[in-house]
């Protein structure tokens, strides 16, 4: 088997993806907004030959700011700009809403990042579905139909702006005095129902032509948008069956748009706490998540369909409870929760296994992460993984030092970057302007 | 006289403010988009203790891309982010349109730059008046009334978002687990005629609280907007009288809004070609502007009211021509053009003096720039200058080495930065949130 898996780092506030990360030993509590720290973390991922760093954007929702930092970085573009200057190969994926940004502004800023980074940028084009996001703009969230309608127009328009200079238009010939070939720089003159632009954009091609498109979401609308435009899909899936079905849906959508399904790479998330053994990892997660403990027991009750509020935290569930437990059909995480419970872990440890997190969780030595990733990858559940470390301070290094070498040894992960651009490293085709197959 | 002048660098495409800059010896023709070059230029300005680097934004108008690069940098925010990481004191002013940006997007990005740079950011809030700019967004340019109406709301809203965290809200206390004081982080709930936002913003205060506001423009509407909000005004003026009148209009407007007029700093532009003597400077400008030569002669005819198309380029104007010449009352540059012509310079050299440029032009040794700046500054024409060098490659260094020391010797310019933040260095007051005097 020759195909290798792809790996990206999901990055946020500078602390990590567990709410208590900012309080851990060695973590500077002022890391939020400290770009020295951001760059150090990205360099750690590049040392591990990660394909990209990926920045979500939840519009700074402050869920519980008394106890927890905002989820994301100060600003996705400034963060990736800083990383671009101080790394050389890692890809740079930022989220920007198609609903709350003008396409021309997205086009110029992502193309600038692409040129600045010598061809390493990608745009995670999302429609933003929350009323919290809309409230920042003084509006209500538009309907799904309008959001996706605008998204299709916006991505098309942005790609057209990216392609408004011909590939060879920029000649910058000092001797003849020709800066660029006027005839190869054309207005785009697109006017849709939602957005429009005359163009052209003023920015020449990058080393990879233009940024890649990324999408995150799992609905039918997401399949359509990603199938049409995306090279990378950031998935949210809990089981191999789930993941395989999602991946196939995106591949089928790509095919509908006349694309080779292999052009679209589906990524499954994993949240990682990598330590020397399971016990150390569980203790670390208990320390990281104590704020959410009682809330999570309430969830677990629903997932297993049994009352747990009187259970002692340090005891396993009773035989009777385990016999009565039924995984909830409404929560795809439930079967795994029951499996962990049946292994005899205490209630505290069941929760610490991350059975109520947003993605599959690895809590233990590196080989457990490697085994999980190999199993999913070989089952055709995904083309790669996006990693959400518990604490960035030491969690990225733990993955790089304890998981990556095993994957490399097993022939599952590249030992070095294949090329200089993100497209080369992901193995997605060159592109410039709107893909002619996509014109409708 | 104790008061010192302020100096900022106007920065653009990486080449310089003369159209031929990209073809000059030593200039890399691929500088457009080369951030190593951008950072080197900003570091040169910081060596000269410049107060800020200022980035205009003309939405990438490609006036004559066959012969000339786009006027501005790839992207103002990514450029300033890179400069922030590799300098320590110089201020960072970027232009962003109030018409073509959502206030929430401006608020987050500029505040992020401010935190990232440890309190050195400023927002040049302009309304964008051109149909070319509007065409990038698929719309017609709104009326001046609507543009300025939206601008007043947008700046208020952005400042409210900047102040949505109390000054001391961010405690990040690892021991107690208090990240921030929830009670000091408040939604802003502003809804105007044009824009609205609930907030709060998720970004804590910077070392200077929040970015300063800058405005560029000279109309009555500009006086109003700047008088209400701005700490810096980027002026476009050709004579001391012009400048003094503009400066007074801005100061009067500030007073109307209950502010101390000294809180608003008026900057006059100067375009510089600094060399060892006038002849060398003229030859350099002839080389830089040859593309525009015939067009400029046509302008000069109109400014002086005499036909020039048959004049030999290397001869002065005839006595008869000089006697018949009348400075055009419609062009404030005309009197200076006639003065230069009467000094006996050839037609080519008259043009090379920059009599048809967008700002007063210094063509000669550093002392000529210093004299000009001293005269204007002591006449109360401005609080400082924004410098537009002909070629960045050596033009910034020429100013720093040949003009700055003279100004320092004369006690007109500081010898080092007064503080760490832009507000400290400009001498403008601390601010956090909307200035309570400005609430209407």
* C-alpha dihedral, B6 to B12 to B16 to B20, nearest 10°: -150
Identify all chain A residues contacting B102, using CB atoms and an 8 Å cutoff: 100-102, 137
Token pair 């102040």 is found at B163
Name the residue among B27, B66, B191 with its Cβ closest to that of A180: B66
pLDDT score of A336 more than 70: yes
Q: Mind giving me the DSSP string for A371-419?
A: HHHHHHHHTTS-SEEEEEES-HHHHHHHHHHHTHHHHHHTT-B-SS-SS
* Residue B71 to residue B73: CA distance in whole angstroms: 7
- Asked if residue B155 and residue B125 are part of one domain, the reply reads yes
Confidence at residue A7, expressed as pLDDT on a 0 to 100 scale: 98
* Residue A333 to residue A237: CA distance in whole angstroms: 9
**pLDDT tens digits, B340-352:** 999 999 999 999 9
SS3 content of chain B, % helix, strand, coil (to 5): 40, 15, 40
Domain membership flag for residue B358: no
Domain membership flag for residue B136: yes
Mean pLDDT over A191-204 rounds to 96
Residues B267, B384 contacting (CB under 8 angstroms) = yes
- Asked if residue A164 and residue A105 are part of one domain, the reply reads yes
- Asked if residue A389 and residue A324 are part of one domain, the reply reads no
CA end-to-end distance (rounded Å), chain B: 37
- Asked if residue B400 and residue B321 are part of one domain, the reply reads no
* Residue B39 to residue A103: CA distance in whole angstroms: 28
Sign, Cα dihedral of A374, A377, A382, A384: positive
* Residue B145 to residue B140: CA distance in whole angstroms: 14
CATH number at residue B14: 3.20.20.30
Residue A330 lies in domain: 278-352
Domain membership flag for residue B376: yes
CB–CB of B74 and A105 under 8 A?
no
Interface test with B, best of A63, A105, A107 (most B CBs within 10 A): A105
Task: Give the HSE-up count for residue B205: Cα atoms under 13 Å, Cβ half-sphere.
Answer: 20
* Residue A182 to residue A178: CA distance in whole angstroms: 9
Average pLDDT in chain A = 95
Identify all chain A residues contacting B174, using CB atoms and an 8 Å cutoff: 22-23, 27, 29
Percent of chain A surpassing pLDDT 70:
99
Identify all chain B residues contacting A102, using CB atoms and an 8 Å cutoff: 100-102, 137
Length of chain A (residues): 440
Name the residue among B30, B81, B138 with its Cβ closest to that of A197: B138
* Residue A4 to residue A13: CA distance in whole angstroms: 30
Confidence at residue B440, expressed as pLDDT on a 0 to 100 scale: 54
- Asked if residue B267 and residue B201 are part of one domain, the reply reads yes
Distance of CA B364 to the CA centre of its chain: 22
DSSP state of A5: B
- If phi > 0 it is left, if psi is from -120 to 50 it is alpha, else beta; for residue B190 that is beta
Q: Between A and B, how many CB-CB pairs are < 8 A? A: 189
- Asked if residue A265 and residue A282 are part of one domain, the reply reads no
Q: Identify the closest residue of chain B to A190 by CA–CA distance.
A: B138
Domain membership flag for residue A360: no
Name the residue among A101, A113, A198 with its Cβ closest to that of B105: A101
Name the residue among A29, A77, A202 with its Cβ closest to that of B60: A202
**pLDDT tens digits, B48-62:** 999 999 999 988 788
* Residue A250 to residue A270: CA distance in whole angstroms: 20
CB–CB of A105 and B104 under 8 A?
no
Please report which confidence band the pLDDT of residue A190 belongs to, taking 50, 70 and 90 as the band edges.
very high
- Whole-angstrom CA distances from B95 to A244, B76, B108, B145, B215 are 47, 7, 15, 20, 9
Residues A221, A194 contacting (CB under 8 angstroms) = no
Q: What angle do CA A132, A136, A139 make, to 5 degrees?
A: 85
Greatest CA separation for chain A: 87
Count structural domains, chain A.
2
Q: Identify the closest residue of chain B to A161 by CA–CA distance.
A: B136
Identify all chain A residues contacting B135, using CB atoms and an 8 Å cutoff: 197-198
* End position of a domain, from candidates B352, B380, B410: B352
Domain membership flag for residue A114: yes
CB-count burial class (<10 Å; 0-12, 13-18, 19+) for B357: buried
Domain membership flag for residue A151: yes
Q: Which two tokens stand for residue A65?
A: 């700011």
- Asked if residue A189 and residue A91 are part of one domain, the reply reads yes
Mean pLDDT over A102-110 rounds to 98
- Asked if residue B172 and residue B289 are part of one domain, the reply reads no
Confidence at residue A187, expressed as pLDDT on a 0 to 100 scale: 94
Considering only CA atoms, which of B13, B108, B114 is closest in space to residue B69?
A: B13
Q: Identify the closest residue of chain B to A119 by CA–CA distance.
A: B33
CB–CB of A74 and B111 under 8 A?
yes
Q: Identify the closest residue of chain B to A60 by CA–CA distance.
A: B202
pLDDT score of A133 more than 60: yes
- Asked if residue A108 and residue A82 are part of one domain, the reply reads yes
Listed as ranges, residues in chain B with pLDDT below 50 are: none
Query: What's the gap in Å between the CA of B165 and the closest CA on chain A?
Result: 11
Name the residue among A29, A180, A195 with its Cβ closest to that of B138: A195
Name the residue among B69, B109, B137 with its Cβ closest to that of A104: B137
Residues B271, B357 contacting (CB under 8 angstroms) = yes
Residues B340, B350 contacting (CB under 8 angstroms) = yes
Query: What's the gap in Å between the CA of A339 and the closest CA on chain B?
Result: 33
Q: Mind giving me the DSSP string for A248-298?
A: HHHHHHHHHTT--GGGSEEEEEEEEEE-SSHHHHHHHHHHHHGGGHHHHHH
CB–CB of B82 and A77 under 8 A?
no
- Asked if residue B296 and residue B256 are part of one domain, the reply reads no
Q: Identify the closest residue of chain A to B23 by CA–CA distance.
A: A174
CB–CB of A60 and B202 under 8 A?
yes
CB–CB of B174 and A102 under 8 A?
no
* End position of a domain, from candidates B301, B317, B352: B352
- Hey, which bits of B210-352 come out as E strands? 212-216, 232-234, 265-274
Q: Which two tokens stand for residue B336?
A: 């200076």
Identify all chain B residues contacting A82, using CB atoms and an 8 Å cutoff: 81-82, 85, 116
Q: Mind giving me the DSSP string for B166-203?
A: -TT-EEEETTTTEEE-GGGB----EE-SS-EE----SP
* Residue A82 to residue A74: CA distance in whole angstroms: 12
- Hey, which bits of A168-226 come out as E strands? 170-173, 178-180, 190-191, 196-197, 212-216
Interface test with A, best of B12, B75, B161 (most A CBs within 10 A): B75
Identify all chain B residues contacting A138, using CB atoms and an 8 Å cutoff: 190-191, 195-198
* Residue B171 to residue B261: CA distance in whole angstroms: 35
Query: What's the gap in Å between the CA of A62 and the closest CA on chain B?
Result: 7
Q: Which two tokens stand for residue A356?
A: 């109520």
Cβ contacts of residue A335 below 8 Å, gap of 6+?
A239, A327
Token pair 């690895």 is found at A362
Number of Cβ atoms within 10 Å of the Cβ of A401: 15
Q: Identify the closest residue of chain B to A74 by CA–CA distance.
A: B112
3-state secondary structure at position B370: helix
* End position of a domain, from candidates B298, B320, B352: B352
CB–CB of B62 and A185 under 8 A?
yes
Cβ contacts of residue A396 below 8 Å, gap of 6+?
A9, A41, A44, A45, A48, A389
Name the residue among B23, B75, B195 with its Cβ closest to that of A174: B23
Q: Identify the closest residue of chain B to A103 by CA–CA distance.
A: B137
CB–CB of A77 and B78 under 8 A?
yes
- Asked if residue B284 and residue B271 are part of one domain, the reply reads no
Confidence at residue A1, expressed as pLDDT on a 0 to 100 scale: 53
Identify all chain B residues contacting A136, using CB atoms and an 8 Å cutoff: 104, 197-199
- Asked if residue B346 and residue B299 are part of one domain, the reply reads yes
**pLDDT tens digits, B2-42:** 799 999 999 999 999 999 999 999 999 999 999 999 999 99
CB–CB of B179 and A74 under 8 A?
no
**pLDDT tens digits, A144-176:** 999 999 999 999 999 999 999 999 999 999 999
Length of chain B (residues): 440
Residue B262 φ then ψ, to 5°: -70, -10
Paired sense of beta strands B52-55 and B91-97, if any: parallel
Query: What's the gap in Å between the CA of A78 and the closest CA on chain B?
Result: 6
Domain membership flag for residue A397: yes
Distance of CA B305 to the CA centre of its chain: 32
Domain membership flag for residue B359: no
């Amino acid at each position: 088997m020759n195909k290798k898996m792809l790996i990206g780092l999901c990055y946020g506030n500078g602390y990590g993806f567990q709410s208590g990360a900012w309080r851990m030993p060695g973590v500077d509590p002022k890391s939020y907004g400290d770009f020295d720290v951001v760059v150090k973390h990205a360099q750690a991922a590049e040392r591990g030959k990660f394909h990209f760093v990926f920045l979500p954007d939840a519009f700074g929702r402050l869920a519980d700011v008394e106890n927890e930092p905002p989820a994301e970085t100060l600003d996705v573009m400034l963060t990736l700009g800083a990383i671009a200057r101080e790394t050389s190969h890692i890809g740079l994926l930022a989220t920007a809403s198609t609903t709350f940004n003008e396409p021309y502004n997205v086009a110029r800023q992502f193309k600038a990042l692409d040129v600045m980074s010598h061809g390493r940028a990608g745009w995670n084009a999302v429609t933003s579905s929350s009323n919290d996001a809309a409230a920042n703009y003084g509006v209500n969230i538009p309907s799904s139909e309008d959001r996706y309608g605008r998204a299709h127009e916006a991505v098309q328009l942005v790609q057209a702006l990216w392609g408004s200079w011909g590939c060879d238009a920029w000649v910058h010939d000092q001797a003849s005095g020709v800066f660029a070939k006027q005839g190869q720089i054309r207005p785009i003159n697109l006017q849709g129902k939602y957005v429009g632009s005359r163009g052209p954009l003023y920015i020449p091609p990058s080393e990879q032509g233009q940024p890649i498109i990324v999408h995150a979401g799992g609905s039918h609308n997401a399949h359509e948008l990603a199938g049409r435009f995306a090279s990378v899909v950031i998935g949210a899936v809990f089981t191999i069956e789930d993941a395989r079905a999602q991946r196939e849906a995106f591949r089928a959508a790509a095919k509908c748009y006349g694309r080779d399904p292999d052009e679209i790479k589906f990524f499954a998330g994993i949240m990682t706490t990598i330590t020397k053994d399971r016990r150390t990892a569980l203790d670390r997660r208990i320390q990281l998540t104590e704020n959410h403990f009682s809330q999570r027991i309430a969830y677990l009750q629903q997932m297993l369909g049994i009352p747990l509020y009187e259970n002692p935290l340090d005891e396993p569930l009773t035989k009777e409870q385990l016999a009565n437990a039924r995984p909830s059909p409404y929560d795809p995480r439930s079967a795994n929760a029951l499996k962990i419970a049946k292994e005899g872990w205490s209630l505290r440890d069941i929760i610490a296994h991350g059975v109520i997190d947003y993605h599959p969780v690895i809590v233990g030595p590196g080989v457990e992460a490697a085994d999980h990733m190999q199993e999913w990858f070989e089952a055709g559940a995904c083309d790669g993984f996006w990693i959400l470390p518990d604490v960035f301070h030491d969690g990225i290094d733990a993955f790089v030092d304890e998981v990556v070498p095993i994957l490399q040894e097993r022939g599952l992960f590249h030992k070095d970057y294949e090329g200089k651009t993100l497209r080369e490293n992901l193995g997605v085709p060159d592109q410039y302007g709107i893909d002619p197959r996509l014109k409708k």
